[in-house]
């Protein structure tokens, strides 16, 4: 037993001796209630796992996780997956008795989360080998658990830097382990278009590659470039494979196709999509760019065709259409855009953006899907059925909730994992900002400004991982872990306590991350600049 484990274990005993229900458990995110009873269940190769087709995903996961290849004839105890009408679809109960473990849930979702909890009651060795030591005593207990928020998301930008299919699966796998249910996949940008669109092959032959990439921070002077071609894209076959993997982890993927801004890679591929219709390159530096989609009919035809292919690939109900950081300079200078403003009786370019988004929403709604947009979609009037992702602080989210729209909180001050996590020297270059893990842990997605009847519109929260300064998957992991542990608890746990107690469990979790070959930062403290 390591020193850290002893500390956590002792805390567990102390608290339990005072009060059977209160506990400091290792489990992250912390379950709502966990009551230790007497006796132990002995998990071994002689444990039978019983599950029907309703629980196939969870049962298969558990089989794969704990059972070694050895064939066993004789079973001495069992784990049963049992349907129970638990109020929350993602909720579950685990009853660990001496002769059986019963996992109760309404659907596979709850059962899957029960398995993720059970996983944390086992030695970390299970993470990377089908352990031969294989006789594990699990204390008898009853766990009752359900999520606090229904939207628990993590984002990843694969346009500024791209990551392998294997890494995308590893990322989704880690999300699922921490009971996140949504992966927001940011697939198009100024610096690269990363999804295969068969009807528009130049999006991939031209738009998926840039000639060069900025070196250092984008505020450095003079600006330097590496002059190396960079890029790639995910084929539709690969995307299907990733979607299928995500299904097996109860993770919904929300694809993001940015519009009307952050569209330079698309415009580089098809210049007719822009107001000036001039040839430009895929962006090689970071920031916000003036060339955005024009509002001609040909742009809408293009985007509808793209959406048609996207909808075929992603079975979820949401399509994210961006909407952020779209400078209006080109529209101000464009005779077509100005005529459209007059024709539609719009006040200005902000209302033209609202027209753009609302028109795309109508199309996407007609296909049975809903849109999500960054909070700029509020400017000039919010599309009628849109869900708002509030990133420029919380004010956009508050406004949208007051209008009765669903909101996902993702404020940059609290939930941007591209920010520095410590002020200590020696950190890899980041975009800026300062979001230590404690800030993430203490974040409450429900703003106090909202009235009781408006709070229900905050469906959850998400952390964003913009990858301008993350060239490798190891670097992505370093920025995400351990801050994601804190966010998982914000989103899942109704009875989390305080950062000091959480920190012990987070430290204890590091061993699991190591076994999973996940790179992580050890910054749990808020160090100040020397």
Binding site for ligand ACM (CB under 6 A): 324-325, 374, 391
Among residues 111, 174, 334, 364, the one that binds Zn ion under rule CB under 5 A: 334
294 binds, among ligand ACM, Zn ion, none (CB under 5 to 8 A by kind): Zn ion
Q: Which lies closer to Zn ion via its Cβ, residue 356 or residue 520?
A: 356
251 binds, among ligand ACM, Zn ion, none (CB under 5 to 8 A by kind): none
- Please give the Cα distance from 530 to 512 (Å, whole number): 32
- Please give the Cα distance from 359 to 339 (Å, whole number): 17
- Piece of the chain touching Zn ion by CB under 5 A; list 95-103, 273-281, 433-441, 489-497: 273-281
**Max Cα-Cα span within the chain:** 79
- CA torsion 248→252→257→258, rounded to 10°? -140
3-state secondary structure of 93: strand
Q: Minimum distance between the CB of residue 155 and ligand ACM, rounded to whole angstroms?
A: 9
Beta bridge partners of 43: 136
- Burial profile 415-439: b = 16 or more Cβ within 10 angstroms, e = fewer: bbbbbbbbeeeeeeebbeeebbbbb
Q: Which lies closer to Zn ion via its Cβ, residue 121 or residue 294?
A: 294
Q: Minimum distance between the CB of residue 374 and ligand ACM, rounded to whole angstroms?
A: 5
Q: Minimum distance between the CB of residue 334 and Zn ion, rounded to whole angstroms?
A: 3
Q: Which lies closer to Zn ion via its Cβ, residue 24 or residue 334?
A: 334
Sign of CA dihedral 173, 177, 181, 182: negative
Q: Which lies closer to Zn ion via its Cβ, residue 150 or residue 336?
A: 336
Q: Which token pair is 431?
A: 């975009």
Q: Which lies closer to ligand ACM via its Cβ, residue 51 or residue 443?
A: 443
374 binds, among Zn ion, ligand ACM, none (CB under 5 to 8 A by kind): ligand ACM
- Piece of the chain touching Zn ion by CB under 5 A; list 62-70, 274-282, 496-504, 521-529: 274-282
Beta bridge partners of 463: 154
| Cβ atoms of 185 and 253 closer than 8 Å | yes
400 binds, among Zn ion, ligand ACM, none (CB under 5 to 8 A by kind): none
Who contacts 407 (Cβ-Cβ below 8 Å, separation ≥6)? 387, 388, 389, 390, 397, 400, 401, 457, 458, 459
Q: Minimum distance between the CB of residue 299 and Zn ion, rounded to whole angstroms?
A: 8
Q: Minimum distance between the CB of residue 256 and ligand ACM, rounded to whole angstroms?
A: 10
Q: Which lies closer to ligand ACM via its Cβ, residue 134 or residue 193?
A: 193
475 binds, among Zn ion, ligand ACM, none (CB under 5 to 8 A by kind): none
Residue 494 C-beta-side C-alpha neighbours within 13 Å = 11
Q: Minimum distance between the CB of residue 358 and ligand ACM, rounded to whole angstroms?
A: 20
217 binds, among Zn ion, ligand ACM, none (CB under 5 to 8 A by kind): none
325 binds, among Zn ion, ligand ACM, none (CB under 5 to 8 A by kind): ligand ACM
Among residues 156, 294, 407, 470, the one that binds Zn ion under rule CB under 5 A: 294
- Piece of the chain touching Zn ion by CB under 5 A; list 122-130, 170-178, 267-275, 358-366: 267-275
Q: Minimum distance between the CB of residue 188 and Zn ion, rounded to whole angstroms?
A: 19
Which candidate, 42, 41, 60, 39, places its Cα nearest to that of 50? 60
Q: Which lies closer to ligand ACM via its Cβ, residue 26 or residue 324?
A: 324
Q: Which lies closer to ligand ACM via its Cβ, residue 183 or residue 374?
A: 374
- Piece of the chain touching Zn ion by CB under 5 A; list 194-202, 241-249, 268-276, 302-310: 268-276
Q: Minimum distance between the CB of residue 160 and ligand ACM, rounded to whole angstroms?
A: 12
Q: Which lies closer to ligand ACM via its Cβ, residue 466 or residue 510?
A: 466
Beta bridge partners of 139: 40
Q: Minimum distance between the CB of residue 337 and Zn ion, rounded to whole angstroms?
A: 4
Q: How far is CA 411 from CA 141, 307, 417, 447, 461, in A?
A: 38, 27, 11, 11, 9
Among residues 79, 103, 263, 337, the one that binds Zn ion under rule CB under 5 A: 337
Q: Minimum distance between the CB of residue 288 and Zn ion, rounded to whole angstroms?
A: 18
Task: Give the strands of the sheet with 77-83, arranged side by side.
Answer: 33-44, 135-145, 92-96, 100-105, 77-83, 47-50
Among residues 24, 275, 340, 476, the one that binds Zn ion under rule CB under 5 A: 275
- Please give the Cα distance from 24 to 378 (Å, whole number): 42
| Cβ atoms of 292 and 271 closer than 8 Å | no
- Please give the Cα distance from 150 to 181 (Å, whole number): 8
| Cβ atoms of 390 and 463 closer than 8 Å | no
- Please give the Cα distance from 162 to 174 (Å, whole number): 18
Q: Which lies closer to ligand ACM via its Cβ, residue 119 or residue 483?
A: 483
Supply φ then ψ for residue 279, to 5 degrees: -75, 125
Q: Which lies closer to Zn ion via its Cβ, residue 230 or residue 293?
A: 293
The footprint of Zn ion (CB under 5 A) covers 275, 294, 334, 336-337
């Amino acid at each position: 037993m390591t020193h850290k484990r002893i500390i956590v274990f002792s805390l567990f005993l102390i608290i339990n001796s005072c009060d059977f229900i209160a506990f400091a458990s290792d489990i992250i995110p912390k379950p709502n209630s966990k009551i230790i009873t007497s006796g132990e269940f002995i998990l071994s190769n002689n444990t039978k796992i019983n599950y029907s087709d309703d629980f196939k995903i969870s049962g298969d996961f558990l089989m794969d996780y704990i059972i070694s290849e050895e064939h066993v004839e004789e079973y001495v105890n069992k784990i049963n997956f049992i349907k129970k009408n638990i109020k929350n679809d993602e909720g579950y109960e685990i009853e660990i008795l001496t002769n059986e473990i019963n996992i109760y849930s309404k659907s596979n979702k709850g059962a899957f989360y029960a398995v993720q909890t059970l996983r944390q009651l086992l030695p970390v060795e299970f993470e990377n080998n089908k352990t031969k030591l294989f006789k594990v005593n699990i204390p008898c207990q009853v766990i009752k658990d359900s999520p606090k928020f229904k939207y628990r998301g993590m984002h990843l930008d694969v346009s500024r830097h791209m990551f392998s299919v294997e890494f995308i699966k590893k990322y989704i796998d880690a999300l699922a382990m921490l009971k996140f249910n949504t992966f927001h996949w940011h697939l198009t940008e100024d610096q690269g278009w990363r999804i295969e669109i068969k009807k528009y092959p130049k999006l991939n032959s031209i738009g998926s590659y840039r000639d060069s990439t900025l070196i250092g921070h984008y505020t450095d002077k003079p600006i330097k470039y590496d002059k190396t071609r960079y890029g790639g894209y995910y084929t539709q076959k690969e995307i299907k494979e990733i979607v299928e993997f995500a299904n097996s982890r109860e993770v919904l993927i929300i694809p993001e196709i940015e519009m009307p801004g952050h569209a330079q890679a698309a415009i580089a591929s098809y210049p007719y999509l822009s107001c000036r219709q001039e040839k430009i390159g895929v962006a090689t530096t970071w920031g916000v760019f003036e060339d955005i989609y024009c509002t001609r009919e040909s742009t809408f035809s293009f985007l509808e065709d793209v959406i048609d292919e996207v909808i075929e690939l992603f079975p979820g109900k949401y399509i994210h259409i961006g909407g952020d950081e779209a400078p209006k300079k080109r529209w101000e200078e464009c005779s077509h855009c100005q005529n459209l403003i007059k024709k539609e009786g719009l006040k200005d370019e902000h209302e033209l953006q609202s027209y753009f988004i609302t028109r795309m929403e109508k199309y996407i709604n007609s296909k049975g899907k809903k849109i999500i947009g960054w909070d700029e979609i509020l400017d000039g009037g919010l599309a009628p059925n849109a869900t708002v992702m509030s990133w420029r602080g919380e004010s956009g989210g508050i406004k949208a909730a007051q209008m009765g729209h669903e909101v996902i909180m993702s404020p940059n001050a609290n939930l941007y994992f591209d920010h520095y996590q410590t002020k200590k020297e020696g950190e890899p270059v980041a975009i800026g900002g300062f979001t230590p893990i404690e800030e993430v842990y203490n974040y409450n997605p429900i703003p106090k400004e909202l009235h009781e009847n408006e709070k229900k519109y905050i469906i959850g929260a998400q952390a964003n991982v913009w990858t301008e300064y993350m060239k490798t998957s190891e670097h992505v992991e370093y920025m995400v872990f351990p801050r994601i542990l804190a966010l998982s608890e914000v989103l899942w746990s109704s009875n989390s306590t305080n950062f000091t107690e959480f920190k012990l469990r987070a430290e204890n979790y590091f061993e699991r991350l190591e076994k999973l070959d996940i790179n992580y930062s050890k910054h749990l403290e808020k160090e100040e600049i020397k």
